[in-house]
Structure 1
Amino acid sequence: MNQQQATTPTRNGPCPCGSGKKFKDCCGEIENSSVSRHQQSQKSGVPPHIIKHIEEGMSAAKALTDGGDQEAAEHRLQQLISEIPKAIDPLRMLVGLMKARKVSSDELVDLQARLVMLSPESDAFLCDAAQTLLNLKRYAEAERCARRAVGIRPTNPQAHNVLGMVLAEMHQPDGAEYHYKQALSQHIPVGKLCANLAFVLKQQGKIEESAAFYRKAVALEPDNAVNLLTWAKLEESLKHFDTAWDLVERARKVSSDKACLVLESTLLRREGRLEEALEKLNGIDVEDEKDVFLISYFNERAQVLDKLKRFDEAFVAIDQSNSLIRKTRESIYDSASNRTTVERYEQFYQARRIKEIPCCGNDPDVPEQATPLFIVGFPRSGTTMVEQILTSHPNISAGDELTYLWRISQLAPTLLGRRGEFPEFLSKLDQSTLEAGLKSLREYYLCNAIADRVVGSETKLFTDKMPLNEMHLGLINLIFNDAPIIHMIRHPLDVVLSSYFNDLTHGDNCSYSLVSAAQHYALIFELVEHYKANLDMRYHAVRYEDIVDNPETHIRELLEFVGEEWDDRCLDFHKNKRFARTASYAQVTEKLYTRSVFRYKNYRTQLEAIIPILEPAISALGYTVE
């Protein structure tokens, strides 16, 4: 009987230990190390017998791995590391084995942190650590590691790629775009990287460029159904239904993924073929499907049933989707933390203090300065609709959901070279330092807007409609105290219900539970009332229901408030070709309709428990509950 001979891995082939590295860069180094043991000893100062002990231990671990006993191999390496804590090679081999079995755990993070500590200038170790932290959703730590890796070796494509993925998860698509493009400039195109870049381009409304990179991703990996479906989703959002159907059909030819069927239901729903959409969903066997699929399945089912006015069934479906999100994504609203933040802001932004602060506004001696137009409001309150209306005007450009205020709130002490927490640290600055500091924060915002091409070449007024920017009305007052602020108001029960029906992370993941969504709404309402009582703002509130009921009158009021003349295009905002990068993308391409006004009445029973939470806001805003 012929016995198959074990093959020796080539230098550039994958290392058999499963680390994912080339053999020459991993265990190949170890096997060849005995040749230069004396040289190693001289260079490192480690006695030759210690080096020999490390080599023997690693060889034993490799033999165990080759024999299929990975658990014993890891145990042997752990023993070796405990004996010689500063030995890098066994630590690196252990990390490689754990990564090979796709382990992302605190234990792996600790081991990778030790590697970084032992070799702080290794961009490869930092990259690996960043990827693990990303897998564990420890985004701030992942960002720090990835940025250090990029700083050490700016030509490392993997460092840029990981940093891009981290920033994408942190809702910073502009930063993600930059680093994905840096990765592509340092490496041959890869399908997944092109698809990731396409996704963040879509988030920024760069639709043509996004489609181009989806096209490239599919060309590189024609059998990748995920890329085909995400591209199809882009085309669906643009109402390019024929193109979307073609892409879904291509995906079905290369994959049995049931996500194809869910997207087919979405297309049928968008085309108004609701019974066919439901029939498509009913035909899907969801038994034993993974949670990530079930989340999208039940969400789509809820949308279809809601359109069919089968409201009780729709609520059951969206409840299932959100329950799975809370479980799988660990998306839990932190009520105590949010309450603490609001109390801190209320304590700092007091009228007596603000009167003493030299707030920033436009320089009267500088004509045609770029000025943000802040459209604030809870998610699903109508902010996207109002932005679409206003940016139909030729003198107003669209910024969409800009992260600049949030970044300033996080980075202000660092940007100004100070210690402390924002906004409290500002009270420790003398008047001249404070005035200069606030101007610097204003310039930081505007420089980002210009760099991101938010400011139009022919327009100076641009929108910023990041949901829940009303948290930062105090900051806006400090650095843009003459900027117009439009606050969208809608019946609180409608807002909370609509948030619950959409997969939204805004507001610290509050929308995945009716109770937490209501709690956060009430909390933000309280903060806005405080701001209105203590700040002198250029503020205008408008009801969603009023715009729907009498659009021309209220659109004229909006334009007058921001200082622009009437333009008929604002009334025909549904013809605006701008891509809306929010959950409202389908609605803002339609004419105004009344079906979403007081939608809560269809779900009155399911909303009963949150009415007491929202009652103060409902009454104060002049609404009732029927």
Structure 2
Amino acid sequence: MNTQPPTDDVIFAGSGSRADALAAGRRLLETQPRAAAAQAREMLAIDPHDGDALRLLSAALRALGDTAEAQSVDQAAIAAAAHQPTLVRSAVAIREGRLNEAEHLLRPWLQEHPDDAAALRMLAEIGAQAGARPQAIALLQDALRVAPTYSSARLRLATLLIEQGDMKQAADVLDILLSMNGADVAGIGQTAASLGRLGEFRHAAQIYEKLLAREPDHAGFWLNLGHVRNTMGDTAGSIEAYRKAAVLEPGNGMVWWSLANLKTFRFSDEDRRVMEAQLNASPALDEERRLHLHFALGKAYEDARDPELSFRNYQAGNAIRHGQSGYRPEIIRSSVDRMTEVLTPVLVQRMADAGAPERDPVFIVGMPRAGSTLVEQILASHSKIEGTAELPVMPALVRALEEETGAPYPDLLADIAPARLAQLGRDYLEATRIYRKTDRPFFTDKLPNNWLHAGLIKLALPNATIIDARRNPLDCCFSVFKQNFARGQQFSYDLRDLGLYYCEYVRLMGHLDAIMPGAVHRLIHEALLDDSETQVRGMLQAIGVPFEEATLRFYENDRAVRTPSAEQVRRPLNTSGMERWRPFEAWLGPLVDALGNVLDCYPAVPAKSA
């Protein structure tokens, strides 16, 4: 495009000051954009990194309708920040956490250069890190008005909108980003994962599908799309996605484990041959891929009714995990010891009704693989109860309490003020708000490990419901051993550790029964299978809602389910999961020994369970 106009208003290179040239260009922009573009090019002939000149040229090109070149100039203007000393110092200060220093540099700069998108993006980052999210969002929107193709700013805007809970607008921002050339596909993929973690599965699936339209050979995107589809109940779609990932990366054990983790999926003989070949042909295969292949082969050989090879692979996968974890069973025993010492009848009486009065949360606690997903699915089929997920909120609040008090948990409970307990309850309700998608008055939190915090939960939220979902120790623990937990369940990689952990769980819940009678509603899994209506009515009564027939038809509920039991809870109640340990009995001695009289007494609790 010829941008040189026949005008005497252009100040040519070297014939005047930079300030005069810039002022002339800005005067020309509104009425003579072609002349303004020529003025900008004259300035860039002297300094190709002149950010003001680049922004002037971009504005002139847009006024002339040359959007494509304007976008290219926008990127050059953003890159010019690397040549501007003030912005370089600001970027270094932000990276090193000196936010006040960076802000003091950026604000005067933006007063003189209000259309500097890179500076606006930096100031927005300061706001985001300082907790001023609305102001950061406004600054990013300003940056995008100046430079609509500024992909880094658009991606950051999407993440902040997600953090603020504005999922629809975040998805719209990502849609625009996906339409741009050169967009950061890895960053978009990470943002899609964030949407999935917050329950926005439909938006996440749409983003992955659009990413795959651009990069159809990206195995990671196929894998993540499989996860989202499984959560949404699209089993066939998830298998299709996992299969495509397996073709692209047959040595990626996570892909094979994801198929195994569908539970109802059955591997073929050819699948087993491919997985074995990957293990044997790749001696340098990293630990993560190797352990996932072992867990998947454990499931494959279990399907083929070869318990010895199945157990050998489960054990090999767990051995790798165990070596990574550094878990020691005495840690959980010490925690339960301290909990039983601190949580006394005197403390409970002193703190009675001190917490927040709300009844909203329904905590489903216990061991993993004990039926908590089934319980959640049943409850979420009630018109007044929303099913959320395994929420990380309570453990995070406990960590914050430790930092605040400087005392370890649970010792800090001995001196906690009643008002602080009430605040903790309110903090929990506020932090869980982002996970709620409906206006139902009750919601579930099915993080199993919250059994460790059940006493604190009852003090901070005395009217909340706690349901202890308990399953036969051998069925439960062996199912855990087969599960391949990536994190958060370090006790699960050794049979003896598993048995000891189960005993500590039983011991603490027994203590709570003694000092807080009726505070925890216990649901025995086998009783639920035997007489579902009676057990469901009991749970609903504990929560304080009337019985509804839909809770017995929970398998008709098409809500998203994020856990490994997703496919299983979409079927009517059945006993297919009972006594799955029996073919493996010859190898379960360490588990049986560790469980001791807890196993002998089940479902009753021994007088001394550990």
Structure 2 length normalisation: TM-score?
0.67
CA positional deviation for 1:398: 0.8
CA positional deviation for 1:236: 4.3
SS of the residue corresponding to residue 445 of structure 1 reads helix
Sequence identity of aligned pairs in percent? Answer: 22
1:486, 1:541 within 8 Å by CA — same for their partners in 2?
A: yes
Aligned residue in 2 for 1:71? none
Aligned residue in 2 for 1:380? 369
Q: Which is higher, the Rg of structure 1 or of structure 2?
A: 2
Q: How does 1:225-264 map to 2 (within 5 A)?
A: 225-238=219-232, 240-244=234-238, 246-247=240-241, 251=245, 262=256
Aligned residue in 2 for 1:202? 196
Aligned residue in 2 for 1:213? 207
Deviations 1:327-361 (A, max 9, x none): 4xx22214343333323322211112221124346
Aligned residue in 2 for 1:103? none
CA RMSD across the alignment: 4.4
Change (3 A) 1:222 1:279: closer
Distance of 2:308 and 2:330 partners within structure 1 = 32
Distance of 2:234 and 2:97 partners within structure 1 = 52
2:362, 2:445 within 8 Å by CA — same for their partners in 1?
A: yes
- Give the alignment partner of residue 392 of structure 1, picking from 381, 384, 387: 381
2:310 maps to 1:314: yes
Q: How does 1:29-108 map to 2 (within 5 A)?
A: none
Distance of 1:539 and 1:371 partners within structure 2 = 16
Aligned residue in 1 for 2:547? 566
Change (3 A) 1:476 1:379: same
SS of the residue corresponding to residue 292 of structure 1 reads helix
Change (3 A) 1:555 1:576: same
Distance of 2:261 and 2:510 partners within structure 1 = 42
Distance of 1:161 and 1:326 partners within structure 2 = 38
2:315 maps to 1:326: no
CA positional deviation for 1:277: 4.4
Q: How does 1:136-535 map to 2 (within 5 A)?
A: 150-151=129-130, 189-238=183-232, 240-244=234-238, 246-247=240-241, 251=245, 262=256, 266=260, 270=264, 272=266, 274-275=268-269, 277-278=271-272, 281-282=275-276, 284=278, 286-288=280-282, 289-327=285-323, 330-360=324-354, 371-412=360-401, 419-428=406-415, 434-453=417-436, 456-457=438-439, 459-505=440-486, 508-535=489-516
- Give the alignment partner of residue 579 of structure 1, picking from 551, 560, 577: 560
1:150, 1:160 within 8 Å by CA — same for their partners in 2?
A: no
CA positional deviation for 1:487: 1.0
Deviations 1:290-316 (A, max 9, x none): 332222222111112223332221111
Distance of 2:563 and 2:166 partners within structure 1 = 18
**Matched residues, number:** 484
Distance of 1:428 and 1:264 partners within structure 2 = 46
Change (3 A) 1:598 1:160: farther
Q: Which has the higher contact order (CA 8 A, sep 6+)?
A: 2
Distance of 1:267 and 1:600 partners within structure 2 = 17
Deviations 1:46-72 (A, max 9, x none): xxxxxxxxxxxxxxxxxxxxxxxxxxx
Aligned residue in 1 for 2:65? none
SS of the residue corresponding to residue 398 of structure 2 reads helix
2:385, 2:444 within 8 Å by CA — same for their partners in 1?
A: yes
1:333, 1:508 within 8 Å by CA — same for their partners in 2?
A: no
CA positional deviation for 1:440: 1.2
Distance of 1:236 and 1:451 partners within structure 2 = 22
CA positional deviation for 1:264: 9.5
Aligned residue in 2 for 1:618? 599
Change (3 A) 1:147 1:423: farther
1:174, 1:200 within 8 Å by CA — same for their partners in 2?
A: no
Distance of 1:474 and 1:512 partners within structure 2 = 27
Distance of 1:497 and 1:308 partners within structure 2 = 18
Distance of 1:177 and 1:256 partners within structure 2 = 38
Distance of 1:436 and 1:228 partners within structure 2 = 49
Distance of 2:428 and 2:261 partners within structure 1 = 39
2:297, 2:313 within 8 Å by CA — same for their partners in 1?
A: yes
Change (3 A) 1:375 1:174: farther
1:248, 1:260 within 8 Å by CA — same for their partners in 2?
A: no
CA positional deviation for 1:492: 1.4
Q: What code does the residue aligned with 1:449 have?
A: T
CA positional deviation for 1:421: 4.0
Aligned residue in 1 for 2:60? none
2:363, 2:467 within 8 Å by CA — same for their partners in 1?
A: yes
Distance of 2:473 and 2:276 partners within structure 1 = 33
SS of the residue corresponding to residue 302 of structure 1 reads helix
CA positional deviation for 1:248: 5.1
2:597 maps to 1:601: no
Deviations 1:379-421 (A, max 9, x none): 111111111111111121112212222122111366xx65544
2:531 maps to 1:540: no
SS of the residue corresponding to residue 444 of structure 1 reads helix
Distance of 1:262 and 1:218 partners within structure 2 = 20
Distance of 2:548 and 2:467 partners within structure 1 = 19
Change (3 A) 1:506 1:573: farther
Change (3 A) 1:473 1:174: farther
Change (3 A) 1:237 1:278: farther
SS of the residue corresponding to residue 571 of structure 1 reads helix
Structure 1 length normalisation: TM-score?
0.66
2:425, 2:461 within 8 Å by CA — same for their partners in 1?
A: yes
SS of the residue corresponding to residue 373 of structure 1 reads strand
Change (3 A) 1:218 1:11: farther
SS of the residue corresponding to residue 510 of structure 2 reads helix
Change (3 A) 1:237 1:161: same
SS of the residue corresponding to residue 577 of structure 1 reads coil
Q: What code does the residue aligned with 1:349 have?
A: L
1:265, 1:281 within 8 Å by CA — same for their partners in 2?
A: no
Distance of 1:600 and 1:392 partners within structure 2 = 31
CA positional deviation for 1:245: 5.4
SS of the residue corresponding to residue 521 of structure 1 reads helix
1:380, 1:495 within 8 Å by CA — same for their partners in 2?
A: yes
Distance of 2:206 and 2:188 partners within structure 1 = 9
Distance of 2:467 and 2:246 partners within structure 1 = 45
1:265, 1:278 within 8 Å by CA — same for their partners in 2?
A: no
1:301, 1:317 within 8 Å by CA — same for their partners in 2?
A: yes
CA positional deviation for 1:282: 4.9
Change (3 A) 1:352 1:116: same
Show structure 1 runs of 5+ residues with no match: 1-9, 13-21, 34-43, 45-91, 93-111, 124-145, 168-172, 364-368
Q: What code does the residue aligned with 1:395 have?
A: K
Q: What code does the residue aligned with 1:197 have?
A: T
